[in-house]
Amino acid sequence: MLMSTKSEPAAPERASTGGWRRERERPSLAEVFGSVATKPSGSFWRKLVSFLGPGYLVAVGYMDPGNWATSLAGGSKFGYALLTVALLSNLMAILLQALCARLGIGAGRDLAQACRDAFPAVVSRPLWLLAEIAICATDLAEVIGTAIGLNLLFGVPLEIGVLITALDVFIILWLQNLGFRWIEAFIVTLLGVIAVCFGVQIAMADPDWAAVIKGFAPTTQVVTNPDMLYLALGILGATVMPHNLYLHSGVVQTRRYGDSVEDRREAIGLATADSTIALMFALLINASILILAAATFNKAGKTDVAELDQVHAFLAPLLGSSIAPTLFGIALLCCGLNSTVTATLAGQIVMEGFLDIKLPSWARRLVTRSIAIVPAAVVTIWYGEKGTAQLLILSQVVLSLQLPFAIVPLVMFTADRRKLGELIAPRWVTALAALTALLIIVLNIKLLWDLVF
């Protein structure tokens, strides 16, 4: 039974230090740690409602503008064939995010803290650098998507739009002062807007639903066709994102639950249900993007559509409605705003967790946001409106290449009885997670081989 009606957050020393090289000095996201009360009794659904929230912050990363670029490119070029990759990626995501919840609740550490506390500096520092590269790649996609959304809707120049995205750090500070639930409410509201926009566009597109169902069936062409493999890895990188693994293991600790093994085991189950529901919603959005591209651009013979501004321009004549481009622009802007908020939180978790820095909350967010957004802004301004789709897809491939360096430690920690005790992941879960990591590594090697030779 969950135990938490107290007004004070649970103590940072919740988890045992057994099996770790060093004791955890402070909790993840200390200012909101244990700040959301949970239901100590009642039905499963009553308890689940109090846990809903972190999963939707995670789901945002699975439908960011980079995902749009890869899904739109895949749908326009190969029709519905890559729906099977979107489904497989989502199943992988559900599994890995469940492990993140287990690590955060079971060990009382986010993934960044766990790496710092488990590995020597010679290992943890390179992992930190790789995590920062992944967040920069994530921010590149989000900055471009938000800037293009502002440009399409309001005519804001791309360069100015990039700078406007830096203001998200103030949105987070303001919302977090009101309470972490306000951040979650902001995210969920924008997700609802995105869902409505795509629902209307799909209804206008009237896709071939038999072909849609067939598209979810596996095909060997994904591996044998280098172009399809490149886009498939882009979808994989855009779906299973490294920064989400750090984010989820941190934000799940905003819930206040009991200290006993039974309390934490129940909390793990509720947090897993939360992320699974949210990720199924993310699959719905991702599949809608690909289906929209297949039903409009691929059907009309426009197989090279990938630029987001191209999509905006082509939707009106192809769907016969002037409202379609506006809906696309609104969804893109909401998506970009959501993604920049969650990426900033992930950047804070990564920097605090790996480096254990002690700064005021506004300074930490400003530093972590700058590390991510400055390279993204430079690249975006340098390339301008030309080539944004190539940059978006490349950013997702970079993320895919970074994935093993986050997944392997996650699987190691959750399979280690010395670190999680009785809350260790079941063997079948560990086996599936290890298989997922191996599959990603093999696909990455295949991609690099094709690019070089």
pLDDT tens digits, one per residue of 198-214? 889 888 888 989 999 99
Banded pLDDT at 337 (limits 50, 70, 90): confident
Among residues 398, 420, 401, 400, which one has the least CA distance to residue 411? 420
Whether the per-residue pLDDT at 12 is higher than 80: the answer is: no
| Contact of 28 with 104, CB cutoff 8 Å | yes
6 in a domain, yes or no? no
**Phi, psi (rounded to 5 degrees) for 37:** -70, 145
CA distance 380 to 141: 9
Mean pLDDT of the chain: 83
CA distance 233 to 85: 9
Q: What total number of domains does the chain contain?
A: 1
Q: How many helices (H) and strands (E) does the chain have?
A: 21, 2
Assign residue 414 the CATH number of its domain.
Answer: 1.20.1740.10
Expressed as residue numbers, the domain containing 354 is 12-452
Looking from the CA of 75 toward its CB, the CA atoms found within 13 Å total 29
The per-residue pLDDT for 105 is: 95
CA distance 114 to 20: 8
221 in a domain, yes or no? yes
232 in a domain, yes or no? yes
225 in a domain, yes or no? yes
- Tell me the per-residue pLDDT of 137-192, one tens digit each, with 9 for 90 and over: 777 777 777 888 888 888 888 778 877 877 776 777 787 778 889 989 999 999 99
CA distance 143 to 377: 7
Mean pLDDT of 356-376: 70
User: Which range has the worst mean pLDDT, 257-266, 348-357, 370-379, 432-441?
Assistant: 370-379
Whether the per-residue pLDDT at 66 is higher than 70: the answer is: no
* Stated pTM of the model: 0.85
The per-residue pLDDT for 252 is: 96
4 in a domain, yes or no? no
The per-residue pLDDT for 435 is: 92
46 in a domain, yes or no? yes
Q: Which residues pair with 255 in a beta bridge?
A: 36
| DSSP annotation string for 335-379 | HHHHHHHHHHHHHHHHHHHHH-----HHHHHHHHHHHHHHHHHHH
Mean pLDDT of 94-119: 95
The structure tokens listed for 379 are 């690249």
3 in a domain, yes or no? no
Please provide the size of the chain in residues: 453
Whether the per-residue pLDDT at 5 is higher than 50: the answer is: no
User: Which range has the worst mean pLDDT, 4-8, 333-337, 379-383?
Assistant: 4-8
Banded pLDDT at 432 (limits 50, 70, 90): very high
